[in-house]
Amino acid sequence: MLVGSVAGIVPTVGNLYGVTKWAVTGLAENARRAVTGGGVADSPMLTADQVAESIVWALGRPAGVDVNTVAVRLLGQPN
């Protein structure tokens, strides 16, 4: 398991901790692509229900939790 941080997404000038978390984010994405085979160009599309369920999940987070970036894709898709 890799533990990232919002510092791995939002740059902070002069913050070495942020640099290490950017590296964790890149490593995690690289590993995900390696494990899933990088996806297939003609793979199926997400259904409207899958997208809707993902949005409901994000909106249903507890008070005080900020979900501001969500990547919704089928398992195995690179992008």
Which pair of structure tokens corresponds to residue 66?
Answer: 């900020």
On whether both 64 and 79 belong to a single domain, the answer is: yes
Which pair of structure tokens corresponds to residue 39?
Answer: 């996806």
On whether both 47 and 29 belong to a single domain, the answer is: no
Residue 75 has pLDDT above 80, yes or no: no
Q: How many domains does the chain have?
A: 2
Residue 8 burial (CB count, 10 A): 21
CA distance 15 to 20: 9
Residue 16 has pLDDT above 70, yes or no: yes
**Residue 36 or 55, more confident:** 55
Answer yes or no: are the C-beta atoms of 48 and 8 closer than 8 Å.
no
Cα 53 versus chain centre, distance: 16
Please give the residue range of the domain that contains residue 8: 1-36
User: Which band of pLDDT confidence, cut at 50, 70 and 90, is reported for residue 38?
Assistant: low
What is the DSSP code (8-state) at residue 23?
Answer: H
Q: For the whole model, what pTM was predicted? A: 0.51
Residue 29 has pLDDT above 80, yes or no: yes
Q: Tell me, what's the pLDDT at 40? A: 58
The H or E element spanning position 35 is: helix 16-36
